[in-house]
Structure 1
Amino acid sequence: MFLHVRTKREHFVFEQLWGDFCEERDLMFVERNLNPSRYLLIGEGERYIGTVECAPYQKPEESNAEFFYPFSQNRLITELNKKRVFEIGKLSISKHFRGMGHFKRLAVILFIHALEQKVDWYIAVVTKRMYMYLRSLGFQMEPIDEPFLFHETLVGVPIRLHAWQGMKYLYSLKEFRDVIHATPQAQQLIQENEKRIMLTY
């Protein structure tokens, strides 16, 4: 389903997949996070088909998200300075595997990461297309500023997401909950955090 990247080879595969996505979307490959948690999405035939990266948002100069949008200058972010804030980045699915339900697995990775790291808030710059898709699913992502152009054909939206609310909503959707129930690591974390998060159907 997914792999927490640890070895040099896994990092190489991750960077290849993300590099292909950057080339496809004409995005700059930015690497400023010092200790990110990286995950590879695994598809049929044990093929690596997607990426996502999470890192503590602490120093703007060490933030990939800050490269694209000045989060450190936005009041809605600076007011979170006593919270556990992480940034989401390098979120991709290889073009031959899109529209096949794999996004649910990426969402479960973030579900697990939020529980493991006790995240309060996530921040990210997402494409407008991804933003509209997530909003259509009912996720209460909060845009913190106006959309902006990465370049003439790609629009970005800076957002923040309350991790606990996001997890509860994710768990309330049957199609996502089924994937969570099929993931032993997620089930164990839910049991360990049962009183704190109070997930319901």
Structure 2
Amino acid sequence: MFQRVQTKEDHFWFEQLWGDFCEERNLMFVERNLTPSRFLLVEENHYIGTVECISYKTPEQSNSEFFYPFSENEYIQGLKNVYEIGKLSIAKTSRGRGQFKQLATILFIYALEVKAEWYIAVVTKRMYMYLRSLGFPIEPIDDSFAINDKLQGVPVRIHVMKGLTHMYSLKEFRDVIQGNAHAQALIKENSKKIMLTR
């Protein structure tokens, strides 16, 4: 389950969780865009994760651009309706319990709401390998690089409709999506664009 960040208290918990994750991974807490759409992952009435989505327009307002120069990459230039994914985290005590499916559902719903065509992100090499193992159509746009002495980052782009179609083809993701009434309404509304199969 998840909720949109709307209140001051929601923002407090979002920043607390993301701050803890940054401290654990020795990441810099970057805040270049002041109008993101933020979501909290909820389990048993506790906040356990974060994800943020932002329209990618100018490099100066991009959190992802802080880590990698997307604006200079030939595979990004010319793309339309690009959104960046950032601040994706799951609390240490909640990892390895299938929570990523909920985060993916948030991204599924958000993409349909804003009619995103592409997502860009810097993901950890481990996350990249995990998504590739699921057959997810995530495209690296450059070589991996050291974020710090513990983490390797991979700059990627994701074609939203290919990603949504692939997610829906995997039973464990489809079950979560089908369990969300808002996601189902968005699928119905966009049915001409999405070829979803079981």
Counting only pairs closer than 5 Å after superposition, residues 110-129 of structure 1 correspond to structure 2 as 110-129=107-126
TM (norm. structure 2) is: 0.99
Corresponding residue for residue 63 of structure 1: 62
Question: What pairs up with 1:49-198 in 2 under 5 angstroms?
Answer: 49-80=48-79, 83-198=80-195
1:16 maps to what in 2?
16
Shift of 1:34: 2.3
Q: Give, in angstroms, the shift of residue 79 of structure 1.
A: 2.4
SS of corresponding position for 2:192 = helix
Q: What are the superposed Cα offsets for residues 1-36 of structure 1, whole Å, 9 maximum, x if unpaired? A: 000111111011000000000000000000011210
Paired residue type of 2:60: E
Structure 2: gaps (5+ residues): none
Tell me how far 1:56 sits from its aligned partner.
0.3
TM-score normalised by the chain length of structure 1: 0.97
CA distance in 2, matches of 1:151, 1:175: 33
Instruction: Classify the secondary structure of the residue corresponding to 2:89.
Output: strand
Amino acid at match of 1:174: K
Number of residue pairs matched by the alignment: 198
- Which 4+ residue blocks in structure 1 deviate beyond 4 angstroms? none
RMSD after superposition = 0.7
Q: Which amino acid aligns with 1:73?
A: E
Which structure 1 residue ranges, 5 or more long, are not aligned? none
Query: SS where residue 75 of structure 2 aligns?
Result: helix
Corresponding residue of 1:2: 2
2-structure distance, mates of 1:119, 1:167 = 11
For 1:42, the equivalent position in structure 2 comes to: 42
Q: How far is the alpha carbon of 1:172 from its aligned partner? A: 0.6
Q: Which amino acid aligns with 1:42?
A: V
2:26 aligned with 1:31, yes or no? no
